[in-house]
């Protein structure tokens, strides 16, 4: 789903919270009404109950209310009734204000909940390449700070817009009824405030956009350093990373200082114009009152209405300025929501993956340039067999498996990968990934217990299955040596475990799901050769009919595979069994000789 403009995106997020905002607007208008009739009651109390002004000019509705309360003479002797009326109006205003705040807050929380849910859901379905192109810290900043900015604008600014407009209209109506000339003096300042607010709108938007973007970079820097804190300390780079962070933080701070300068200029000029308006109304109103053009009650009421008018006019200017910030945040959220999620081809199927997997003339190059990673690669992985891939760093070993798992998509004309006779692009991605178990060289573990991490691939993992998988991965004895056993809490990204323990946990994690295709991407590199052999032996006895793909730099890991390919600069240099490759006296044999020296 693509959003053509900001309005369509905001309306999409407002589903489920729109009613709360509508109710908040209704009660906001009630607050405005009750606030506005208070000065009118005081005006007519002074002019027509206390003073001897005739009631000819009293509005019909107010005259009717006064008659219902006993008439002028009765009210003059029972002013407490008017005080009671003012109290009732105030109470109704307070109740309306409470309901406005209640529904507005409920709408705001529903809005931000939906925004977070939809953003998280959408991000989870974006291509693997998209995540590689965008910093995690920046994505988090968009999903937190920018989401809060949008929520604040809609709940605090937009929801007040109707109340402000109605307040201005009602105030101007009552003010015109009191004195036209004073009303004109007051009204002249409204377009001035609105126009200079639009003038500042562009400046504020530009400054906020720079600051918001820099905040994303700062978040990314902090996230990278916190995630890689062990590497930073291992190489003694604390001072360098601190200076790098301080420099970036300084730049971010300067951008916000510049934004605050613009906002300070905006608000101070706003205060100056508003203060000038109040001063002129007070002075001219006093002059008109002295000359008898308005009564004392009218003067008090007009000054009250003008004071009520100052805030909404200033708030209207603030909405225009805040619109700049919200516009930037909506654009940054739109970037995520308009990023194309992964999609299956129409009619995508769910075939069995217990079939031969064939690579036909596959070529692939990353978008950031650097030439082809894979060049016209063709081979077959037979179902139920063990297949080995050997190659130097950068030869394209992992890329082959990312293409098979559809983490990367093969461009049209760059070959194809078949499962049986079915192109993997015609297979549902979720089905493909559910049936291909992947263990990476640097596995990611969640901040949960070992038991939860191992069983995470299945909704309802039985402890017996978890322990069986751990035994196959040569991890059970290690876990039992921990004080809390399988309930041992694993720190963020598995920081409390060694490299070998993390790899074995990831292997157990994959084994629990019992996929028909198992890929081990250099996932035994951090374990010793004895443990390596023990795991491979256990795997061969327990994987059943599963197809196993082993990617490794270590010959001993691959030598028992049914077939092995050797990649060199993105091409297949050699293919065959261990014995066949040894007799060819090529790359495989050279690596074998080097690794076997001293053993």
Query: How many other C-beta atoms can be found within 10 angstroms of the C-beta atom of residue 564?
Result: 23
Q: How many angstroms separate the CA atoms of 414 and 255, rounded?
A: 46
pLDDT at 595: 82
The DSSP-derived string for 20-63 is: HHHHHHHHHHHHHHHHHHHHHHHHHIIIIIIS---STTS-HHHH
**CB-facing half-sphere around the CA of 219: CA atoms within 13 A:** 19
pLDDT at 54: 52
pLDDT at 593: 87
The helix/strand/coil state of 361 is: strand
Q: Which two tokens stand for residue 599?
A: 């053993």
The helix/strand/coil state of 292 is: coil
Q: Residue 472 in contact with residue 542, Cβ under 8 Å?
A: yes
The helix/strand/coil state of 387 is: strand
555-559 long-range contacts, CB within 8 A, separation 24+ = 555/390, 555/588, 555/591, 555/592, 555/595, 555/596, 556/529, 556/532, 556/595, 557/388, 557/524, 557/532, 558/388, 558/389, 558/390, 559/388
Exposure string (b/e) for 109-118, b if CB count within 10 Å is 16 or more?
A: ebbbebbeeb
The helix/strand/coil state of 436 is: strand
pLDDT at 132: 78
Q: How many angstroms separate the CA atoms of 386 and 547, rounded?
A: 6
3-state secondary structure labels for all residues of 155-217: HHHHHHHHHHHHHHHHHHHHHHHHCHHHHHHHHCHHHHHHHHHHHHHHHHHHHHHHHHHHHHH
Measured CA to CA in angstroms, residue 101 lies from 23, 160, 313, 315, 484 at distances of: 10, 11, 21, 17, 49
DSSP character at residue 545: T
pLDDT at 169: 79
Cα end-to-end span (Å), the chain: 59
Q: Which residues contact residue 182 at a Cβ distance below 8 angstroms, ignoring those fewer than 6 apart?
A: 175, 281, 284, 285, 288, 294, 302
Angle at Cα 525 formed by Cα 524 and Cα 529, nearest 5°?
Answer: 75
DSSP character at residue 145: I
User: Closest Cα to residue 528, out of 591, 467, 478?
Assistant: 478
pLDDT of the chain along its 599 residues, tens only? 678 788 888 889 989 888 998 898 888 888 877 877 777 777 677 766 676 555 455 556 566 666 676 666 676 666 777 778 778 888 988 898 899 889 988 999 999 999 999 999 999 888 888 887 888 778 888 888 889 888 888 887 777 777 777 777 777 877 887 788 888 888 888 788 777 777 777 777 788 778 877 877 787 777 777 767 766 776 677 788 888 888 888 888 888 888 888 878 877 877 788 788 888 888 888 888 888 888 877 787 788 778 777 777 767 667 776 777 788 888 889 999 998 888 888 888 989 888 999 999 999 888 766 677 889 999 999 998 889 998 887 788 888 888 898 888 888 888 999 999 999 999 998 898 888 888 877 777 887 888 888 888 777 777 888 888 888 888 888 888 888 888 888 866 666 677 778 888 888 888 888 889 988 887 766 677 777 778 778 877 777 788 889 888 888 888 888 999 998 888 899 999 998 989 888 888 988 888 887 55
Q: Which two tokens stand for residue 339?
A: 């990023």
**How far, rounded to the nearest angstrom, does the alpha carbon of residue 148 sit from its chain's CA centroid?**
10
The structural domains of the chain, ordered by start, are: 6-337 (1.20.1560.10), 357-596 (3.40.50.300)
pLDDT at 111: 92
**How far, rounded to the nearest angstrom, does the alpha carbon of residue 493 sit from its chain's CA centroid?**
21
pLDDT at 441: 73
Q: How many angstroms separate the CA atoms of 101 and 190, rounded?
A: 27
């Amino acid at each position: 789903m693509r959003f053509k403009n900001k309005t369509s995106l905001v309306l999409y997020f407002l589903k489920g919270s729109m009613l709360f905002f509508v109710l908040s607007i209704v009660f906001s208008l009630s607050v405005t009404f009750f606030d506005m009739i208070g000065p009118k009651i005081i005006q007519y109390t002074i002019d027509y109950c206390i003073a001897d002004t005739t009631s000819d000019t009293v509005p019909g509705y107010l005259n009717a209310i006064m008659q219902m309360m006993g008439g002028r003479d009765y009210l003059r002797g029972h002013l407490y009734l008017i005080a009671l009326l003012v109290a009732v109006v105030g109470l109704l205003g307070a109740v309306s204000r409470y309901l406005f705040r209640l529904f507005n807050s409920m709408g705001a929380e529903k809005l931000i909940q939906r925004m977070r849910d939809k953003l998280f859901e959408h991000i989870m379905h974006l291509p693997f390449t998209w995540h590689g192109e965008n910093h995690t810290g920046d994505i988090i900043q968009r999903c937190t700070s920018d989401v809060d900015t949008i929520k604040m604008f809609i709940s605090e600014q937009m929801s007040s817009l109707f109340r402000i407009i109605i307040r201005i209209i009602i105030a101007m109506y009552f003010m015109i009824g009191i004195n036209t000339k004073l009303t004109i003096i007051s009204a002249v300042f409204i377009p001035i405030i609105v126009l200079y607010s639009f003038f500042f709108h562009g400046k504020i938007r530009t400054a906020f956009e720079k600051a918001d973007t820099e905040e994303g970079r700062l978040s990314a820097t902090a996230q990278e350093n916190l995630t890689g804190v062990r590497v930073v300390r291992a190489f003694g780079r604390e001072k360098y990373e601190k200076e790098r962070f301080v420099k970036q933080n300084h730049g971010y701070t300067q951008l916000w200082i510049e934004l605050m300068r613009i906002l300070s200029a905006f608000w101070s000029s706003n205060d100056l114009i508003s203060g000038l308006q109040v001063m002129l109304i007070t002075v001219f109103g006093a002059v008109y009152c002295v000359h008898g053009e308005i009564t004392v009650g009218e003067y008090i009421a007009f000054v009250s209405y003008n004071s009520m008018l100052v805030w909404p006019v200033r708030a209207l200017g603030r909405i225009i300025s805040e619109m700049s910030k919200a516009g930037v945040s909506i654009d940054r959220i739109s970037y995520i929501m308009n990023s194309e999620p992964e999609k299956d081809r129409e009619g995508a199927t769910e075939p069995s993956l217990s079939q031969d997997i064939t690579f036909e003339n596959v070529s692939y190059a990353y978008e950031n340039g650097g030439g082809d990673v894979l060049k016209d690669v063709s081979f077959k992985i037979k179902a139920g067999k063990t297949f080995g891939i050997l190659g130097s760093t950068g030869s394209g070993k992992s890329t082959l498996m990312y293409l098979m798992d559809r983490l990367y998509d093969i461009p049209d004309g760059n070959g194809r990968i078949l499962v049986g006779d079915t192109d993997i692009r015609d297979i549902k991605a979720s089905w493909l990934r559910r049936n291909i178990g992947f263990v990476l060289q640097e596995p990611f573990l969640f901040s949960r217990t070992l038991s939860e991490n191992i069983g995470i691939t299945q909704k309802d993992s039985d402890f017996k299955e978890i322990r069986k998988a751990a035994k196959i991965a040569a991890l059970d004895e290690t876990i039992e040596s921990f004080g809390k056993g399988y309930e041992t809490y694993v720190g963020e990204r598995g920081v409390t475990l060694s490299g070998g323990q993390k790899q074995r946990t990831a292997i157990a994690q994959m084994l629990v799901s019992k996929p028909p295709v198992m890929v081990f991407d250099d996932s035994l590199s951090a374990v010793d050769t004895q443990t390596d052999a023990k795991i491979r032996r256990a795997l061969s006895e327990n994987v059943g009919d599963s197809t196993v793909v082993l990617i490794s730099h270590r010959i001993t890991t691959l030598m028992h595979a049914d077939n092995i390919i050797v990649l060199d600069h993105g091409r297949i240099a050699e293919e065959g069994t261990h014995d066949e490759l040894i007799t060819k006296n090529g790359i495989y044999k050279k690596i074998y000789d080097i690794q076997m020296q001293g053993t």
